[in-house]
A and B are shown apart, each in its own frame.
Chain A
C-alpha cells in the first residue's frame, strides 16, 4: 500500500509539473470535489486495495448455482466474486456488497435501462456502462467508486433533477424517496439548469393511486409492473423527448387488484397512496410486522401506525408467499378499522335497542343464559378473521358446556378435517411456479386470493403453462381455456373424454386447484372424489409432487380445520337456542330460531349484530397477537400494532373470562398457556413460518358414494373489495367497489 501511494503521489506531482492543468476560470463546473475535475489523474492515483476489508452482499443477496460450470468470476472494485452466467453487472455488484444506485431497475421486473443511474466503470470499456442492463462477462473488472463512475452518477442526477419539481416539503414520498436519498448520496450540491421546468397533467388512476405526474422521472417501473405483474395493459409511455409522460392516453382507471403496488415501486412521489395523502410522514410512523387476514394467503405486511391509529399498510418481503406485493384490499382496507367499531359490551333491551353495560353484567347475562339451554342447543361459529388461540378457547369452552357444534364459517357443514392435505394448497404458493398445467376447479383466484393469482400469472408468463378453468365466466389476467361451468365437465375430464385430459396427463408437474367455495355445496364429497380420480389418472400425486390443491378463502379456515372445528350435526343451527358468534358475519342467521339467544363477539358492527342479543367487543387483528394459518398450511403471527378500541378485549380473554363466570373455568391464563393447549391438538400451529407437508395423501380417503349434481359452480367472492366485516366498513373499499368493479 505504502509503495503504491508513494508512486501515485510522485505521479500526481509530476503531472502538475509536466502538463499545465489549465484551471480554466470561465468554465463553471458543478463538481465540488476537486479531484473529480480531473478524473484521469485521480484514477491513476487509486491503487488496487491489497488487504480488503470484508464486504457482505447487499440486502442478503444470495446466489444459487444451478449448474456449477456456468460460474464466472468478475472483479468488483478488486474483490473477486463468483456469479452464474447471465447475471448482470449490477447483480454482481450486489453480491460483492456494493449497492449501485438505481431508479428503473427492479429485480422483479424486466430490465429497461433508461434511467442511467446505475452507470459504473468497466475496465477497457470506453465509456461508463449501465450496469443493470449489461451482462457480466468473465474476468470483467468493474469499478463502482472511481471518479468516472461518480461523475457519471452526478451528471445523471443533474439531468433527472432538471425537470423534477423541488416540492419535497409537500410530497408524500418525502423521507422515503429514492430520488431524495440518492441525490443526497450521489448528486451534486447545485444544478445548472435555468430554463423553465416542464409540467405534466395529472392522471386519474382511480381511488387508490394519487398521481403527481410532474414528479415523474420516466423510470417506467409502473408501466412494467402493470404489464408484467398486474397483467393490465393500461399504462404506457406516451410522447417523446421532454414531452414524454406516463399515462393511459384514453382516460382509464387502473382496474387491477394489485394496483397499489405501483405506489411502492415508484422511486419518486409521482404515484402515491390517495387515502394516505397528506396524512403522515413516514418517520412519524411505528412499523409493526404482522400478517394480513383479509384472505387465506396470509400476505406479510407491515402495519404503520401513529398513536392509536393505523395509518397505512405496506407489504413485507416473503418470497414464499407474497414476494413483495400485496393486493389492494390488503393495502387499503385499514380505514375500516376506524369505522363501525364495537367499543362497549352491550345488551339488547326489551325495546330492541342496545344498551352499553359493564363487562361484569354482560358476562353474567351470557353465563346465565348458557346454563338455561340444553347442551345440544348450544352452537358456536368462528368468524373468518378468528385467530387460532381464540378458536381453541371457543371450542374448549363450548365442549365444557357439553356442546360440540362449533365450526368456522366458510367450511361448510361437513368439512373434511381429518386429512390435512384435503384442505391445503399442498404445493405451496411458491411451488406453483414449477407447474406446467393448471386446472382451476370452481375457483377464481384473482378475487379469492390475489397473490396466488399473481403467482399463477408469473408462471404462465415465464413458462407458458396451460390453464384450464371450470366455473362461471370470470376475468383472468392471463391466457386460459374455459372448459365448462359445472361438475359434469370435471367428470368428462376424469373419464378422459375431454381434450384437456391429455394436456393434464402429459404434463410434468400438473396442478389442480379446487376452490373452497365448493365446501358449501352438498355434493362436495362427490366432487372431491372426481377430482381425486383425475389426480390418480393424471399421476398428479407423486411422492415428490402433490399437485392436488385446495384454495381456501378465509384466514381462519385452515387453523379451524387443524383444530378440528367440525360441527357435530348438520342442522344444529336450526334448533339452536344459544348461538355464540365469534366474529362470524357471513353465516346465514335466517335459520336461527327467533327465540334463540345470540351472542356476538367481534370488533365491527356488521351483519350479525342486527340479530345479536349481547355484544362483546373484541380486538381486531391489528390489536392482538394471534396465530393464523394460511392456505398452504404455514402458521404466522399477527402482532398488536395499536391499542384496542374502547373497552374491547382480546378474543381469547373474553372466552376465558366467560368460562369462569359460567363456572367452567378454562385452564389457561396466558397466551403461552393457551398455546401449550394448542400443542396437544395441532402442534403445527406453533411452528411459525414453517410448512409441514401433509403426510397423508388424499388417495387414502374412502370413495364417496353420492353423485355430483349438475348445478354449475358458483362464485365464492362476489365483491373482491368487500369480503369481511372490516372491509365492509371501509370507505375506501366502498369507493373501489363503486368505481372499479365491472357492473
Chain B
C-alpha cells in the first residue's frame, strides 16, 4: 500500500518536472537523414584540395592496403576541416570513393559521431560541455550567455557566418569545469585549431567571442588567472617534495 502510494507520488513529481514534452536530446547538428538543399546535395562537386590530397595519401598509408576503410574517420575529419567545419553529402561521397566503400558506410560513421557536423556551422564553432561536472559548475549559464550574446539558437549560425554554438559531452576537463571548446575553421585545414577554454564564466566566454571576432587568439586553457593549468588556485598547497618512486617495478628496466 505504502509502496504504491510512494510510486504514485514519485510519478506525480516526475510529471510535474516534465512540463515540456521531452524531445530526444541530440548532440548532432543535423537529422539522421539527408534532405537536399542548394548547398548540400549529392550533385555538388566536391574534392580534396591538392594539399589535402597529399594528406589523404599519408593517412591511408597508415593502414594496410586491404583495410583502407579504417581511414574513414581521419579522412572525414580532414574533409570537415577543409569544408569549413561541416560535411556535405558530396564530401562524404568523396571520402567513400577514396576508401573504396559504399557511401552508406561513410554516412553511418558520420552520423554516429557527433563531432562530425552534417549541417553548416560558423567559422568558430563553440561547443559547451554539458556533462554533469560542468553543468553543476554553471555550463547552462555559459550557454545562455553565448546564445544571448550571439542572438542565435543552439546549432544555429550567426548571420555573418562567424559563430555557432553547440553542446557536447565530457571532454575530460572536469577539474577545470566549466569549459567550452572552440573549433576554429576560419583558416581551412592548415590553420585548424580545436582549443579548450576552461574555468569559463558567462562574462569570460563573451569576451572570448569578441576576441575571436576581432581575429585575436585568446590564450587557451584555464581562464582563471590564478590557476596554472589544472593546478589549484593560488599555487600548490600540497605535494611540495619530490614525487615518490612508482610503487610498481620499473618497467623500463625490464
> Which of B57-65, B105-113, B143-151, B242-250 lies on the face that meets chain A?
B105-113
CB of B49 closer than 8 Å to a CB of A: no
- Of chain B, the residue at the smallest CB distance from A249 is B107
> Which of A171-179, A235-243, A498-506 lies on the face that meets chain B?
A235-243
User: Given A196-B21, A239-B28, A240-B111, A249 and B2 touching (CB < 8 A)?
Assistant: no
Residues of A within 8 A of B238 (CB): none
Q: Is the CB of B107 within 8 A of A236?
A: yes
Q: Is the CB of A233 within 8 A of B28?
A: no
Residues of A within 8 A of B112 (CB): 238-240
CB of A107 closer than 8 Å to a CB of B: no
Q: Is the CB of B3 within 8 A of A233?
A: no
Residues of B within 8 A of A245 (CB): 32-33
Q: How far is the CB of A243 from chain B (nearest CB, A)?
A: 6
Checking B2, B42, B108 against A25 with a beta-carbon cut-off of 8 angstroms, the contacting residue is: B2
Residues of B within 8 A of A237 (CB): 108
Q: Is the CB of B111 within 8 A of A238?
A: yes
Q: Is the CB of B22 within 8 A of A196?
A: yes
Checking A194, A242, A249 against B104 with a beta-carbon cut-off of 8 angstroms, the contacting residue is: A249
- Which chain B residues in 17-43 approach chain A with CB under 8 Å? 21-22, 24, 26, 28, 32-34, 42
Residues of A within 8 A of B102 (CB): 233-234
**What CA separation (Å) do A236 and B101 show in the bound complex?**
13
User: Given A236-B108, A237-B108, A242 and B34 touching (CB < 8 A)?
Assistant: no
Q: Is the CB of B24 within 8 A of A234?
A: no
Q: Is the CB of A248 within 8 A of B32?
A: no
Q: Is the CB of A234 within 8 A of B104?
A: yes
Complex interface bits, B142-167 against A, C-beta within 8 A gives 1, otherwise 0: 00000000000000000000000000
Q: Is the CB of A250 within 8 A of B103?
A: yes
- Of chain B, the residue at the smallest CB distance from A198 is B24
Q: Is the CB of A236 within 8 A of B104?
A: yes
- Of chain B, the residue at the smallest CB distance from A239 is B32
| Interface footprint category on A | 20 to 34
**What CA separation (Å) do A26 and B32 show in the bound complex?**
40
Q: Is the CB of B108 within 8 A of A238?
A: yes
Complex interface bits, A202-244 against B, C-beta within 8 A gives 1, otherwise 0: 0100000000000000000000000000000111111110111
**What CA separation (Å) do A248 and B32 show in the bound complex?**
10
Q: Is the CB of A28 within 8 A of B3?
A: yes
Complex interface bits, B91-129 against A, C-beta within 8 A gives 1, otherwise 0: 000000000011111011001111000000000000000
Q: Is the CB of B22 within 8 A of A250?
A: no
Residues of A within 8 A of B32 (CB): 238-239, 243-245, 247, 249
Q: How far is the CB of B103 from chain A (nearest CB, A)?
A: 7
Q: Is the CB of A239 within 8 A of B11?
A: no
CB of A251 closer than 8 Å to a CB of B: yes
Q: Is the CB of B26 within 8 A of A243?
A: yes
Q: Is the CB of A247 within 8 A of B11?
A: no
User: Given A238-B111, A239-B112, A240-B111, A26 and B104 touching (CB < 8 A)?
Assistant: no
Q: How far is the CB of A194 from chain B (nearest CB, A)?
A: 7
Q: Is the CB of A249 within 8 A of B111?
A: yes
CB of A462 closer than 8 Å to a CB of B: no
**What CA separation (Å) do A237 and B107 show in the bound complex?**
9
Q: Is the CB of B22 within 8 A of A239?
A: no
Complex interface bits, B71-93 against A, C-beta within 8 A gives 1, otherwise 0: 00000000000000000010000
CB of A201 closer than 8 Å to a CB of B: yes
**What CA separation (Å) do A655 and B144 show in the bound complex?**
86
| Interface footprint category on B | 20 to 34
CB of A167 closer than 8 Å to a CB of B: no
CB of A69 closer than 8 Å to a CB of B: no
CB of B187 closer than 8 Å to a CB of A: no
Residues of B within 8 A of A351 (CB): none
Q: Is the CB of A249 within 8 A of B33?
A: yes
CB of B239 closer than 8 Å to a CB of A: no
- Which chain A residues in 1-45 approach chain B with CB under 8 Å? 25-28
Contact residues of A: prevailing secondary structure: loop
Please report the number of residue pairs spanning A and B whose Cβ atoms sit closer than 8 angstroms. 70
CB of B14 closer than 8 Å to a CB of A: yes
**What CA separation (Å) do A27 and B111 show in the bound complex?**
39
User: Given A25-B2, A195-B22, A251 and B34 touching (CB < 8 A)?
Assistant: yes
CB of B6 closer than 8 Å to a CB of A: yes
Q: How far is the CB of B137 from chain A (nearest CB, A)?
A: 25
Q: How far is the CB of A4 from chain B (nearest CB, A)?
A: 36
- Of chain B, the residue at the smallest CB distance from A192 is B7
**What CA separation (Å) do A250 and B108 show in the bound complex?**
11
Q: Is the CB of A236 within 8 A of B105?
A: yes
**What CA separation (Å) do A130 and B102 show in the bound complex?**
29
Q: How far is the CB of B225 from chain A (nearest CB, A)?
A: 39
Q: Is the CB of B7 within 8 A of A28?
A: yes
Residues of B within 8 A of A238 (CB): 32-33, 107-108, 111-112
- Of chain B, the residue at the smallest CB distance from A199 is B24
**What CA separation (Å) do A194 and B111 show in the bound complex?**
28
Complex interface bits, A587-626 against B, C-beta within 8 A gives 1, otherwise 0: 0000000000000000000000000000000000000000
Residues of A within 8 A of B34 (CB): 249-251
**What CA separation (Å) do A243 and B28 show in the bound complex?**
10
Q: Is the CB of A250 within 8 A of B6?
A: no
Residues of B within 8 A of A203 (CB): 33
Q: How far is the CB of A262 from chain B (nearest CB, A)?
A: 15
Checking B7, B24, B104 against A248 with a beta-carbon cut-off of 8 angstroms, the contacting residue is: B104
Q: Is the CB of B33 within 8 A of A247?
A: yes
**What CA separation (Å) do A235 and B111 show in the bound complex?**
14
Q: Is the CB of A26 within 8 A of B33?
A: no
Q: Is the CB of A242 within 8 A of B24?
A: yes
Residues of B within 8 A of A28 (CB): 3, 7
- Of chain B, the residue at the smallest CB distance from A226 is B104
**What CA separation (Å) do A247 and B32 show in the bound complex?**
8
Q: How far is the CB of A476 from chain B (nearest CB, A)?
A: 15
Q: How far is the CB of B214 from chain A (nearest CB, A)?
A: 37
Q: Is the CB of A233 within 8 A of B26?
A: no
Q: How far is the CB of B65 from chain A (nearest CB, A)?
A: 16
**What CA separation (Å) do A25 and B7 show in the bound complex?**
11
**What CA separation (Å) do A26 and B4 show in the bound complex?**
8
Q: Is the CB of B105 within 8 A of A233?
A: yes
Residues of B within 8 A of A247 (CB): 32-33
Residues of B within 8 A of A201 (CB): 33
**What CA separation (Å) do A251 and B14 show in the bound complex?**
39
- Of chain A, the residue at the smallest CB distance from B92 is A249
Residues of A within 8 A of B26 (CB): 243
Residues of A within 8 A of B113 (CB): 240
Most buried by B among A26, A28, A195, A240: A240
**What CA separation (Å) do A74 and B24 show in the bound complex?**
45
Residues of A within 8 A of B103 (CB): 249-250
- Of chain B, the residue at the smallest CB distance from A201 is B33
**What CA separation (Å) do A355 and B147 show in the bound complex?**
80
Residues of A within 8 A of B105 (CB): 233, 236
**What CA separation (Å) do A24 and B77 show in the bound complex?**
52
Q: How far is the CB of A184 from chain B (nearest CB, A)?
A: 26
Q: How far is the CB of B113 from chain A (nearest CB, A)?
A: 8
**What CA separation (Å) do A248 and B104 show in the bound complex?**
7
Residues of A within 8 A of B22 (CB): 195-196
- Of chain B, the residue at the smallest CB distance from A242 is B24
Q: How far is the CB of A91 from chain B (nearest CB, A)?
A: 28
Residues of A within 8 A of B2 (CB): 25-26
Residues of B within 8 A of A243 (CB): 24, 26, 28, 32
Q: How far is the CB of B124 from chain A (nearest CB, A)?
A: 26
Closest 9 CB pairs of A and B: A233-B102, A236-B104, A249-B107, A239-B32, A238-B111, A25-B3, A236-B108, A238-B32, A250-B34
Known: A25-B2, A238-B107, A249-B33. 5 other contacts (CB 8 A): A234-B104, A238-B108, A242-B24, A245-B32, A249-B89
Query: What are 20 A-B pairs at a CB distance below 8 A?
Result: A26-B2, A26-B6, A196-B21, A203-B33, A233-B104, A233-B105, A234-B102, A236-B105, A236-B107, A238-B32, A238-B33, A242-B24, A243-B24, A247-B33, A249-B32, A249-B34, A249-B89, A250-B34, A250-B89, A251-B34
Question: Residues on B close to A: CB < 8 A?
Answer: 2-3, 6-7, 11, 14, 21-22, 24, 26, 28, 32-34, 42, 89, 101-105, 107-108, 111-114
